[in-house]
Amino acid sequence: MGLFSNRKTVFVDSDILVVGGGMAGCGATYESRYWGRDLKVVCVEKANIERSGAVAQGLYAINCYMGMQWDENQPEDHVRYARNDLMGLVREDLGYDIARHVDSSVHQFEEWGLPIMKDPETGRYLREGKWQIMIHGESYKPIVAEAARKAASEVYNRIMVTHLLMDEAKPNRVAGAVGFNVRTGDFYVFRAKAVIVCAGGASHIYKPRAVGEGMGRTWYAPWSSASAYALPILVGAKMTQRENRITLTRFKDGYGPVGAYFLHLKTYTENAYGEEYESKWYDHTKELVGDYIDRQPVPTCLRNHAFLEETKAGRGPIRMVTKEAFQDPHKEQVGWENFLGMTIGQAIVWASQNIDPKHVNPELTTSEPYVMGSHATCSGAWASGPSDYAPSDYQWGYNRMMTVDGLFGAGDTIGGTAHKFSSGSYTEGRIAAKAAVNYVNDMENDKFQVSEKQYQDLKKTIFQPLENYQVGRNEIVAGTVSPSYILPLSGLQRLEKIMDEYCGGISANYITNEPMLTRGLELLDMLKEDLEHLAAEDLHQLQRAWELQHRVLASESVTHHTMFRTETRWPGYYYRADHPKLDDTDWHCFTLSQYDQESGEWTMEKAPVYHIVD
Ligand X SMILES: Cc1cc2nc3c(=O)[nH]c(=O)nc-3n(C[C@H](O)[C@H](O)[C@H](O)COP(=O)(O)OP(=O)(O)OC[C@H]3O[C@@H](n4cnc5c(N)ncnc54)[C@H](O)[C@@H]3O)c2cc1C
> Side-chain half-sphere of 256: how many Cα atoms within 13 Å?
29
Is residue 397 part of the contact set for ligand X (CB under 6 A)? no
Is residue 23 part of the contact set for ligand X (CB under 6 A)? yes
Least gap, CB of 160 to ligand X (angstroms): 5
Supply the DSSP string of 526-574, one letter for each residue: HHHHHHTTB--SSHHHHHHHHHHHHHHHHHHHHHHHHHH--S-SSTTT-
> Side-chain half-sphere of 154: how many Cα atoms within 13 Å?
13
Is residue 52 part of the contact set for ligand X (CB under 6 A)? yes
Is residue 512 part of the contact set for ligand X (CB under 6 A)? no
Q: How many residues bind ligand X (CB under 6 A)?
A: 42
Nearest-angstrom CA–CA distance, 524 and 87: 30
End-to-end CA distance of the chain: 60
**Alpha-carbon distances, residue 122 vs 70, 119, 126, 134, 328 (angstroms):** 10, 6, 9, 15, 22
Give per-residue burial for 117-132: e unless 16+ CB within 10 Å, then b: beeeeeeebbbbeebb
**CB-based contacts of 528: which residues, under 8 Å, 6+ apart?**
552, 556
Least gap, CB of 217 to ligand X (angstroms): 11
Is residue 300 part of the contact set for ligand X (CB under 6 A)? no
What is the chain's percent helix, strand, coil content, to nearest 5? 40, 20, 40
Binders of ligand X among residues 53 to 82 (CB under 6 A) are: 53-55, 59-63
With contacts defined by CB under 6 A, name the span among 187-195, 196-204, 284-292, 435-443 that binds ligand X: 196-204
Least gap, CB of 271 to ligand X (angstroms): 26
**Beta 133-137 vs 59-62: how paired, if at all?**
antiparallel
If residue 380 lies in a helix (H) or strand (E), which one and from where to where? strand 380-381
Is residue 285 part of the contact set for ligand X (CB under 6 A)? no
Least gap, CB of 343 to ligand X (angstroms): 6
Binders of ligand X among residues 119 to 178 (CB under 6 A) are: 160-161
Least gap, CB of 138 to ligand X (angstroms): 13
Residue 343 or 512: the one with the smaller Cβ distance to ligand X is 343
Residue 161 or 462: the one with the smaller Cβ distance to ligand X is 161
Binds ligand X (CB under 6 A): choice among 176, 200, 369, 386: 200
Is residue 21 part of the contact set for ligand X (CB under 6 A)? yes
Residue 32 or 568: the one with the smaller Cβ distance to ligand X is 32
The residues facing 363 across adjacent strands are 319
User: Judging by beta carbons within 10 Å of its beta carbon (0-12, 13-18, 19+), is residue 312 exposed, middle or buried?
Assistant: exposed
Give per-residue burial for 266-280: e unless 16+ CB within 10 Å, then b: ebebbbeeeeebbeb
Least gap, CB of 43 to ligand X (angstroms): 9
Is residue 411 part of the contact set for ligand X (CB under 6 A)? yes
**Which x/- pattern over 355-374 shows residues binding ligand X (rule: CB under 6 A)?**
-------------------x
Residue 300 or 568: the one with the smaller Cβ distance to ligand X is 300
CB 217 within 8 A of CB 246: no
With contacts defined by CB under 6 A, name the span among 92-100, 206-214, 347-355, 418-426 that binds ligand X: 418-426
Least gap, CB of 613 to ligand X (angstroms): 22
Residue 219 or 439: the one with the smaller Cβ distance to ligand X is 219
CB 407 within 8 A of CB 164: yes
Least gap, CB of 412 to ligand X (angstroms): 4
Binds ligand X (CB under 6 A): choice among 5, 15, 17, 22: 22
With contacts defined by CB under 6 A, name the span among 19-27, 315-323, 384-392, 606-614 that binds ligand X: 19-27
Is residue 257 part of the contact set for ligand X (CB under 6 A)? yes
Residue 461 or 509: the one with the smaller Cβ distance to ligand X is 461
With contacts defined by CB under 6 A, name the span among 415-423, 478-486, 506-514, 581-589 that binds ligand X: 415-423
Residue nearest to ligand X (CB): 22
Signed CA dihedral, 18, 23, 29, 31: sign only: negative
Is residue 24 part of the contact set for ligand X (CB under 6 A)? yes
Is residue 427 part of the contact set for ligand X (CB under 6 A)? no
Angle between helices 488-502 and 514-531 (to 10 degrees): 170
The residues facing 9 across adjacent strands are 187
User: Judging by beta carbons within 10 Å of its beta carbon (0-12, 13-18, 19+), is residue 490 exposed, middle or buried?
Assistant: middle
With contacts defined by CB under 6 A, name the span among 50-58, 115-123, 379-387, 512-520 that binds ligand X: 50-58
Give per-residue burial for 36-58: e unless 16+ CB within 10 Å, then b: beebbbbbbbbbebeebbbbbbb
With contacts defined by CB under 6 A, name the span among 5-13, 51-59, 88-96, 294-302 that binds ligand X: 51-59
Binds ligand X (CB under 6 A): choice among 19, 79, 301, 524: 19
Is residue 455 part of the contact set for ligand X (CB under 6 A)? no
Is residue 220 part of the contact set for ligand X (CB under 6 A)? yes
Q: Which of 292, 304, 299 minimizes the C-alpha distance to 575?
A: 304
**Beta 575-576 vs 511-512: how paired, if at all?**
parallel
User: Judging by beta carbons within 10 Å of its beta carbon (0-12, 13-18, 19+), is residue 594 exposed, middle or buried?
Assistant: middle
Binds ligand X (CB under 6 A): choice among 125, 292, 421, 510: 421
Q: How many CB atoms lie within 10 A of CB 392?
A: 8
CB 332 within 8 A of CB 176: no
Residue 135 or 308: the one with the smaller Cβ distance to ligand X is 135
Is residue 105 part of the contact set for ligand X (CB under 6 A)? no
CB 331 within 8 A of CB 325: yes
Binds ligand X (CB under 6 A): choice among 221, 237, 390, 487: 221
Nearest-angstrom CA–CA distance, 311 and 318: 7
Residue 208 or 520: the one with the smaller Cβ distance to ligand X is 208
Binders of ligand X among residues 28 to 47 (CB under 6 A) are: 44-47
Binds ligand X (CB under 6 A): choice among 343, 559, 568, 591: 343
Residue 281 or 370: the one with the smaller Cβ distance to ligand X is 370
Contact positions toward ligand X, by CB under 6 A?
19-25, 44-47, 52-55, 59-63, 160-161, 198-200, 219-221, 223-225, 227, 257, 343, 374-375, 411-412, 421-423, 425
